[in-house]
Chain A
């Protein structure tokens, strides 16, 4: 367990300015029939910040991710991207800034497409046309970033392991060079050691490229390792939020206490 000390990121982050948050939820609720899946949620994500959202299954984490991706619109409240209400952006324009990797990679793959075709299709979101060479370079770069050899471009989903599929989905998002990555349980299919490499990748993207990340997970250990800020969700509401270290140290809300008590200890 050795390695270089890492500075407190929020303090020395060269990418965060005091200006507008990249993404802001202001009193957002989302109702499905009689169920309020997300209730009066407010938080902000600054440029170059990793914000982790934790909570148990069914607490509304994925609904919140879908709202952040503009796949759902809020029933009430407002979501703003760089100060502009999301409705002002066209979906394509929004997706140039915000990209996502969702938890079940098999649901995101067309099983008859090769990795190359899958990646190339996504590039349609961009407004400029890339040349063939540029295309290939971008795809290869993105795959290399997540630790997948570019030779895998010609593979089909069934030839990849669960962990590889999950990493391809992240490469797909990164290839579009978004400013915000919404990652919903991106490590659910990965073993502990691969999980660490992926989280390290997220840390590097933040530190080197100023990428903002909304990481959704039920694993407090992961959230604690990578995030600058922590949001704790319980039954659709954010019951606690703040600097990660402070939330974990102070654990004010009973649900946060419960969540921390349930995390198995290694030693």
Chain B
């Protein structure tokens, strides 16, 4: 069984007047069938750029500068966007403001018709409406939503309806970029349940879910990749990542989470000092080192990858812990990034 998505050493940047700003740097990861892969990190760490690359929504000023991407086992041509016939069938995107992306003057059924018409020339309005209503009912949403205007639906319901309509053609891959940030917790849970349902019914086969909300990650993702300043810091099973983070950045992120549990209230939780670097001028070596409590001189050199492609962290301290002794930068050069 091949991976749905496989990025190898993928790098991309934005062309600006001041030169290329490398927003994604040497990212290797895969999306397997049946899984939700989460991508987390602070704002400005390249999450959305990575989502655009995986969705092959590559338009200037964004330019791929290296690496490869395979979709469903086939090497993708990264010089052009995803060909039309594959949009919505191989891959769909659920953006952050999906609920605001719907035309307020048309009903949900017209949106469904537009989606189906793009791929099936003979489709009628009537059959598009029926298919959308049936799909909504199947997923436990009110079928009557097809006859409603966007403003008649609540924000959470709108986001769920858009998720259903954008997957009407059973795309294998769904890229969800912060789909829940504007929703309250109850609507977030409903959206997550819907995505899980789409997966278990095999309507979609894999989801890349981007969010900066770690507790939400726990309820949606099977594996999580943590990004920092355009690079991957750590990737692994969700449970392991949140319970025993290896990378100091993951640990700091997990430590900043506020949940309504007594230990949170009785302590003063300190965030991560400083802010992510300007990607036009990132620090040398490990990009987290200026903010890292464990950094030393070694961290001025690119950190090695510790672990296999299924689960890894890029960190000198993790490398030392794994070997039980200090590691010289030269000894592992080449095994790393």
Measuring CB to CB, which residues of chain A are less than 8 angstroms from any residue of chain B? 1-6, 56-58, 161-163, 191-197, 199-200, 203, 218-225, 244-245, 248, 258-260, 262-267
Contact = CB atoms under 8 A, between A and B. Distances in A.
Contacts of B43: 161-163, 191
Contact of A200 (B214, B259, B270, B275): B270
Given A5-B266, A58-B155, A220-B260, 13 more contacts: A6-B268, A56-B185, A192-B213, A192-B258, A193-B42, A193-B252, A245-B265, A262-B188, A262-B189, A264-B188, A264-B215, A264-B218, A264-B219
Nearest to B260: A224
A195 B43 CA distance: 12
B185 A197 contact: no
B258 A224 contact: yes
12 contacts: A4-B268, A57-B154, A57-B156, A191-B42, A193-B42, A219-B185, A220-B260, A223-B260, A224-B264, A263-B185, A264-B216, A266-B215
B310 interface: no
B330 interface: no
B322 interface: no
A194 B255 CA distance: 12
B278 to A, nearest CB: 11
B183 to A, nearest CB: 7
B46 to A, nearest CB: 14
Interface in B242-260: 242-243, 252-260
B216 to A, nearest CB: 5
Contact of A266 (B184, B186, B242, B262): B242
A148 to B, nearest CB: 11
Contacts of A56: 184-187
Given A224-B264, A260-B260, A1 B189 contact: no
Interface in B161-194: 183-189
B44 interface: yes
A160 to B, nearest CB: 12
Contacts of B242: 266-267
B271 interface: yes
A224 B267 CA distance: 12
Contacts of A259: 185-186
Given A3-B267, A6-B266, A191-B43, A266 B212 contact: no
A2 B267 contact: yes
B269 interface: yes
A196 B43 CA distance: 15
Nearest to A190: B43
A5 B270 CA distance: 13
Nearest to B243: A267
A12 B156 CA distance: 42
Interface residues of B, number: 43
Contacts of B184: 56-57, 218
A265 B215 contact: yes
Query: 4 closest Cβ contacts across the A-B interface?
Result: A193-B271, A264-B215, A221-B258, A196-B271
B258 A263 contact: no
A262 B270 contact: no
B265 A225 contact: yes
A1 B185 contact: no
B256 A192 contact: yes
Given A264-B218, A267-B242, A267-B243, A192 B260 contact: no
Contact of B257 (A161, A221, A262): A221
A262 to B, nearest CB: 4
B203 interface: no
A196 B212 CA distance: 14
Contacts of B154: 57-58
A195 B214 CA distance: 13
Contacts of B216: 264
Contacts of A196: 256, 258, 269-271
Nearest to B291: A193
Interface centre among A2, A4, A221 (most CB of B within 10 A): A221
Contact of A197 (B187, B215, B263, B271): B271
B139 interface: no
A221 B263 CA distance: 12
Contact of B267 (A6, A197, A263, A266): A6
Contacts of A3: 267-270
Contacts of B269: 1, 3, 196, 200, 225
Contacts of B264: 221, 224-225
A6 B16 CA distance: 48
B300 interface: no
Nearest to B258: A221
Interface centre among B185, B213, B257, B272 (most CB of A within 10 A): B185
A264 B180 CA distance: 13
Contacts of A163: 43
A116 B155 CA distance: 36
A161 B270 contact: no
A200 B260 contact: no
Given A57-B183, A200-B268, A245-B265, A193 B258 contact: no
A264 B259 CA distance: 8
Nearest to B254: A266
Given A260-B260, A266-B218, A192 B267 contact: no
